[in-house]
Structures are given as structure tokens and as C-alpha cells.
Structure 1
Amino acid sequence: MALLPVIGLFLLVKVPMWANDAKLDSLIGRFESYPLPPKTYWADKGAEGSIALRGNGNHCDYRARFMLSTELSVDELTDYYDQADIAGVETGRPNVTVWTRQPSKRAAYSSRTVIVELNDGTGAGLDLRCH
């Protein structure tokens, strides 16, 4: 009986975090299941995802980064993902940013490694990472 308040407090803190982690995982899954652009391949399996408060305010910022190997330009990739029908965390679509890294020594001469980053946000709710 003495542990019930501790367990309740633990759940009060962790359940909102678990819910937001599931939202981020779902966003990552939607991106990974969306068809890659032509001449583009996964450079690294798995995404780098995070949830935090970036900037000021009372909201959750979701970020997911993916590494791709491509022969397309940054502008072509940006256009492709600007037209992609990938749902955001709750509503709308995430903001997509594409930029290049140094050329890959393992890839074909015309290929380059790029980072595609998805950003979205929601209200903070009870997730302590977002306050």
C-alpha cells in the first residue's frame, strides 16, 4: 500500500512520455514506409528521433532524421518530399528539410549522402520534456 503513491506518480510522469514516444515512432514508420524517390537508397537503417522543447513556449517538438544515398539534388529531394503525403504527428504534415553531408566514399561517384529531417509539434500536455 505504501508503494501506491510512488507507482501513481511514476505513471503520471511516464504515461505522457510513452504516448508521445509512440507518436514519434508512428511518424518515423510513415516516413520509412513511404516510397523513396528514384535513384535514392537508405544510407543508414533506422532513424534518429527526439522529443523536446526547442525554443521557448509550452509545446512538444518532434524531430526525426534519416540518412539517404542519392543521385538527386537537394532541390529535387526537397520537391519530392514537399509533395509527399506523409501525415504529421497529430494533424497536418511535418516540415521537411534536406541537406547534404560530405560525399560517400563507398557510394557511386554521382551519389551523395543526404539527411532528411522531419519536424512537427504538438501541445505540451503532461510530458515533462516539453515544459
Structure 2
Amino acid sequence: MVALLPVIGLFLLFKVPMWVNDAKLDALIDRFESYPRPPRTYGTEGGAEGSIALRDNGNHCDYRVRLTLSTELSVGELTDYSDRADIAGVEGGRPSFTVRPRPPSKHVAYSSRTMIVELDDSTGAGLDLRCH
């Protein structure tokens, strides 16, 4: 048993920062999903999806939350709505938003526009291996 203590310690050294960042991501998803939907928006395709990774280069954690909406609004109108949204980032501050049309699917007919709204934020990497 004593021989396992260093292995357990090393495991926890790297897993605890990942669990902490996962909790931050879950809280960000909750804030994003609970924010009121834009007008003339009829629903979502499932809930928001989140991820943590190192995007681009550097030594930081990038958090991304993606939500697919059915709406009558244009990209510009959704962007304006998102820019006014009062959603706190991972560690306070203000996350950035990206809005784009969802690529059309040949298997599903949509009666309204389907848009993807992404919220992006970043923190220091710490010991989270996903961010190095």
C-alpha cells in the first residue's frame, strides 16, 4: 500500500486541476444556458456543449461553449444580442462570442435558420495537461 502512495499522489497532482477546470466549464455552461434566449428564437438542438483545450499556441486553457439555435434572426442580430449579454466568463471578465450559420444538412429540412453561438474564454494552464 505504501508503494502506491507516490502513484496516487502523482495521479491527483494532474487530475485535480482537470477536475477544477471541468467544474469551471460546467458553471460557464450553466450561465450560458440560463441566460434568456434572443427574441424570435424557438429552441435549441439539445443543450450547450463545452470543451477545454489548448487552441492556437501558448500556455493557457481555452474554454468553449457551443449552442445551436433555431431562430429567425440574422447573424448580425444574434451577434448584437450576444455582445450585450451579461454572462460572466470563467474567472469573471467577459467572454467573447462568435455567431455563424449552421451548415445545411441534406438529411434534415429546417423551416427556420439554424445558428451556432459559441462563447470562448481563457485562463492560465496551471497543471491541466489538456492546456499545454
TM-score range, shorter chain: over 0.9
**Corresponding residue SS for 1:46:** coil
Deviation (angstroms), 1:57: 1.0
When normalised by structure 2's length, the TM-score is: 0.91
Q: Is the 8 A contact 1:43 1:113 kept in 2?
A: no
Q: Which amino acid aligns with 1:68?
A: L
Could you tell me how far apart the structure 2 residues matched to 1:30 and 1:41 are?
Answer: 19
User: Which ranges in structure 1 are unaligned for 5 or more consecutive residues?
Assistant: none
**Corresponding residue SS for 2:50:** strand
Q: CA RMSD in A?
A: 1.3
User: Which ranges in structure 2 are unaligned for 5 or more consecutive residues?
Assistant: none
Deviation (angstroms), 1:42: 2.6
- Counterparts of 1:1-131 in structure 2 under 5 Å? 1-101=2-102, 102=104, 105=109, 107-108=110-111, 111-131=112-132
1:15-34 CA distance string (max 9 Å, x none): 00000011111111001000
Could you tell me how far apart the structure 1 residues matched to 2:57 and 2:10 are?
Answer: 26
Percent identity over the alignment?
75
